[in-house]
Amino acid sequence: MAMPLLKVYADRLSQPSRALVIFCRVNRIDCEEVTVDLLKAQHLTSEFKKINPMGQVPAIVDGRFKLFESHAILRYLATVFPGVPDHWYPTDLFTRAKIESILDWHHSNLRRGAATFVLHTVLAPFFGLTPNPESAKEAEKLLVRSLKTIESEWLKGDAKFLHGNPQPSIADLSLVCEITQLELVGDERRDRILGPREKILAWMGNMKKATSPHFENAHEHMFKVKARLSSAAGVKTPSKL
Amino acid sequence: MAAMLKVYADRLPQPSRALIIFCRVNKLDFEEVTVNLGKGQHRTPEFKKINPMGQVPAIVDGRFRLFESHAILRYLATVFPGVPDHWYPADLFTRAKIESILDWHHSNLRRGAATFVLHTALAPSLGMTPNPKAAKEGENLLVRSLKTIESVWLKGDTKFLNGNPQPSIADLSLVCEIMQLELVGDERRDSILRPREKIGAWMENVKKATSPHFEEAHELIFKMKARFTSADHVKTVSKL
């Protein structure tokens, strides 16, 4: 049988990659997932730069068509595959515009806060970077502000999904996958940040339910990395005693 | 008769200008409401009712409210039937490429340029302390972003991003961001932009395609630039 036309280049350690993989599986989109291992710097190879000159995941190749940036890819797939239910990227102009505004807001707020916080708290050494505690602190503030904004702005009352939508959109998927990355900083830090955010937690539960078992499946790799990070940290502590 | 569409903007920041230019070029019936950031008008409870994020631009179209400039540009390009297709093409593939530029922009060109300009020129006017380290990091990201635009989206002798023969909302948004460099003064601006020939040519194309609205929307930036320059001059004279 012929290989699927659509190739999805992803690393499940990366939040936007997970959102895309979950989207494809939930919607039974015929695609081949090609792993680009960030920890092994596979995103920096010249082969991969031919796929995405930015050297980032996720990226797709659909026949002759190449695309990068996870939100652009999600919009494209939601539109080009006729079987994808409308709620992911509604055709209603007003509902869609509200989703666009969340997708745009995300880059400089939740993503910037969460990704920077995780990088400078645990991930930096794996990418050959020096952790910067000041950056981690600033990022945590931005992250917490962003979570509060999501609650006050888009999860009012007993909204199941962002903006009171009864079913999830690509914005819900993208933002929730960003927040799950907090697992990597360990349970204590994660709970300190997420514990007070009841609406966020309920919403994440709704997202998981709506995309189960693909949601859990896509996060397995990240939980494995979390376990490695925890045991590495555990080995260091005894030496300090 | 009052226009139904209200655009809340301050012509000092880039996303507001892109939106104003778009509305004027397309002759949209709208009312521009100035929200003066320097006077803190974006933090008033009245404005928070318009946009709870307390940022510009924001629109109110009848009962419908929207913030985030890219979301607004997409919405207006779609809801007003007179807007030519090239601004936000209906073709799935052309549109997807534009979306990817609009997305990339936030964490790259915008972050670099806005941080650099803030910590080099604007911080004092907004009651903040300039951070030279942030300015340097911003500049590095800005220069990397400009090079990326040239190598990925302005290949060959293309007039607009991704080889499009006419501008899209991505061209407008990104060029307005680069125009903000006027505020750091001619010398610094030239040190960053002079090596970037394709960027220069592309900016001219966007200006030509949206003249005279482009120039008109940028008048405030040039006034502020003149004020900064004369302030520097006064400082220099005082040091003599």
Assigned domain for A45 exists:
yes
**CATH code for the domain in which residue A143 is found:** 1.20.1050.10
Q: How many domains does chain A have?
A: 2
Measured between beta carbons, the chain A residues lying within 8 angstroms of B64 are 94, 97
Q: Quick: pLDDT tens for B206-222.
A: 999 999 999 999 999 99
Tokens of B169: 């909302």
Least confident of A6-15, B53-62, B231-240: B231-240
Distance (Å, whole) CA B99 – CA B170: 8
Spell out the residues 6+ positions from residue B149 whose beta carbon is closer than 8 angstroms to its own: B109, B161, B174, B198, B199
Residue A65 in contact with residue B93, Cβ under 8 Å?
yes
Q: What's the order of all strands across the beta sheet hosting B5-9?
A: B30-34, B5-9, B58-61, B64-67
Tokens 């945590």 sit at which residue?
A: A140
Q: Answer yes or no: do A172 and A199 share one domain.
A: yes
Structure confidence at residue B25 (pLDDT): 98
Q: Angle B31-B34-B38 (CA atoms, 0-180°, nearest 5)? A: 170
Q: Does B48 touch chain A (CB under 8 A)?
A: no
Structure confidence at residue B240 (pLDDT): 32
Q: Quick: pLDDT tens for A90-126.
A: 999 999 999 999 999 999 999 999 999 999 999 999 8
Q: What is the DSSP letter of A167?
A: S
Assigned domain for A106 exists:
yes
Q: What is the DSSP letter of B123?
A: G
State the best of B92, B100, B147 to mutate against chain A, taking most chain A CBs within 10 Å.
B100
User: Which of left, alpha, beta for A60 (phi over 0: left; psi -120 to 50: alpha)?
Assistant: beta
A79 and B103 within 8 Å at the Cβ level: the answer is no
Query: Cα A47 to the chain's mean position, in Å?
Result: 24
Structure confidence at residue B232 (pLDDT): 60
Query: What average pLDDT does range A126-150 have in this prediction?
Result: 96
Tokens 């940028």 sit at which residue?
A: B218
Q: Does B91 touch chain A (CB under 8 A)?
A: no
A76 and B64 within 8 Å at the Cβ level: the answer is no
Q: Answer yes or no: do A126 and A60 share one domain.
A: no
CA atoms within 13 A on the CB side of B2: 8
Which of A68, A72, A101 lies at the smallest CB-CB distance from B68? A101
Query: What average pLDDT does range B62-71 have in this prediction?
Result: 97
Q: Does B128 touch chain A (CB under 8 A)?
A: no
Q: Answer yes or no: do A46 and A148 share one domain.
A: no
pLDDT of residue A1 exceeding 60: no
B71 and A97 within 8 Å at the Cβ level: the answer is yes
Smallest CA–CA separation between B101 and chain A, in Å?
A: 8
Assign 3-class secondary structure to A41-103.
Answer: CHHHCHHHHHHCCCCCCCEEEECCEEEECHHHHHHHHHHHCCCCCHHHCCCCHHHHHHHHHHH
Assigned domain for A186 exists:
yes
Question: B113: pLDDT confidence band, cut at 50, 70 and 90?
Answer: very high
Q: Quick: pLDDT tens for B133-187.
A: 999 999 999 999 999 999 999 999 899 999 999 999 999 999 999 999 999 999 9
Closest Cα in chain A to B152: A53
Q: Answer yes or no: do A67 and A106 share one domain.
A: no
Measured between beta carbons, the chain A residues lying within 8 angstroms of B53 are 105, 149, 153
B92 and A80 within 8 Å at the Cβ level: the answer is yes
Smallest CA–CA separation between B153 and chain A, in Å?
A: 11
Q: Answer yes or no: do A174 and A73 share one domain.
A: no
Query: What average pLDDT does range A159-186 have in this prediction?
Result: 97
Mean pLDDT, rounded, of chain A: 94
- Of A85, A109, A126, the one marking the end of a domain is A85
Domain ranges, residue A119: 88-231
Q: What is the DSSP letter of B183?
A: G
Q: Does B162 touch chain A (CB under 8 A)?
A: no
Q: Answer yes or no: do A74 and A98 share one domain.
A: no
Structure confidence at residue B229 (pLDDT): 77
Assigned domain for A100 exists:
yes
Output the pTM of the full model. 0.93
List residues in chain A touching B: CB distance below 8 A. 53-54, 65, 67-73, 75-76, 79-80, 93-94, 97-98, 100-101, 103-105, 107-108, 111-112, 149, 152-153
A93 and B97 within 8 Å at the Cβ level: the answer is no
Contacts of the segment B118-123: beta carbons below 8 A, 24+ positions apart: B120/B183, B120/B184, B120/B188, B121/B183, B121/B184, B121/B185, B121/B228, B122/B183
Q: Count of CB atoms within 10 A of residue B227's CB?
A: 12
Structure confidence at residue A124 (pLDDT): 93
Smallest CA–CA separation between A114 and chain B, in Å?
A: 14
Which residues on adjacent β-strands are paired with residue A10? Answer: A35
Assigned domain for A70 exists:
yes
Structure confidence at residue B237 (pLDDT): 39
Q: Answer yes or no: do A53 and A15 share one domain.
A: yes
- Percentage of chain A lying above the pLDDT 70 cut: 95
Query: What average pLDDT does range B190-218 have in this prediction?
Result: 97
Question: A2: pLDDT confidence band, cut at 50, 70 and 90?
Answer: low
- Of A52, A85, A118, the one marking the end of a domain is A85
A153 and B53 within 8 Å at the Cβ level: the answer is yes
Tokens of B64: 């419908």
A76 and B96 within 8 Å at the Cβ level: the answer is yes
Tokens of A101: 């505004």
Which of B69, B75, B92 lies at the smallest CB-CB distance from A79? B92
Q: Quick: pLDDT tens for B72-110.
A: 999 999 999 899 999 999 999 999 999 999 999 999 999
Q: Answer yes or no: do A143 and A175 share one domain.
A: yes
Burial of B137 (0-12, 13-18, 19+ CB in 10 A): middle
pLDDT of residue A237 exceeding 80: no
pLDDT of residue B239 exceeding 70: no
Closest Cα in chain A to B144: A54
Residue B36 in contact with residue B8, Cβ under 8 Å?
no
Structure confidence at residue A14 (pLDDT): 95
Helix axes A133-149, A187-194, angle to 10 degrees: 40
Measured between beta carbons, the chain B residues lying within 8 angstroms of A153 are 52-53
Residue A160 in contact with residue A134, Cβ under 8 Å?
no
Query: What average pLDDT does range B48-58 have in this prediction?
Result: 96
Distance (Å, whole) CA A174 – CA A19: 5
Distance (Å, whole) CA B59 – CA B114: 22
Q: Does B90 touch chain A (CB under 8 A)?
A: no
Question: A235: pLDDT confidence band, cut at 50, 70 and 90?
Answer: very low
- Of A85, A108, A143, the one marking the end of a domain is A85
pLDDT of residue B193 exceeding 60: yes
Predicted ipTM of the assembly:
0.92
Assigned domain for A10 exists:
yes
- Percentage of chain B lying above the pLDDT 90 cut: 89
Query: Cα A38 to the chain's mean position, in Å?
Result: 15
Assigned domain for A74 exists:
yes
Q: Does B44 touch chain A (CB under 8 A)?
A: no
Structure confidence at residue A4 (pLDDT): 85
- Percentage of chain A lying above the pLDDT 90 cut: 90
**CATH code for the domain in which residue A18 is found:** 3.40.30.10
Q: Answer yes or no: do A77 and A109 share one domain.
A: no
Assigned domain for A127 exists:
yes
Smallest CA–CA separation between A166 and chain B, in Å?
A: 20
pLDDT of residue A150 exceeding 90: yes
Question: B126: pLDDT confidence band, cut at 50, 70 and 90?
Answer: confident
Spell out the residues 6+ positions from residue B216 whose beta carbon is closer than 8 angstroms to its own: B24
Q: Quick: pLDDT tens for A189-222.
A: 999 999 999 999 999 999 999 999 999 999 999 9
Q: Which residue has better confidence, B128 or B78?
A: B78
Measured between beta carbons, the chain B residues lying within 8 angstroms of A80 are 92
Choose among B39, B38, B58: nearest CA to B47: B58
pLDDT of residue B231 exceeding 90: no
List the 175-214 stretch of B: residues with Cβ below 8 A of A: none
Structure confidence at residue B128 (pLDDT): 87
Q: Answer yes or no: do A30 and A135 share one domain.
A: no
Q: Does B137 touch chain A (CB under 8 A)?
A: no
SS3 (DSSP) at B155: coil
Q: Answer yes or no: do A96 and A195 share one domain.
A: yes
Q: Answer yes or no: do A130 and A207 share one domain.
A: yes
Residue A89 in contact with residue A99, Cβ under 8 Å?
yes
- Percentage of chain B lying above the pLDDT 70 cut: 95
Residue B18 in contact with residue B176, Cβ under 8 Å?
yes
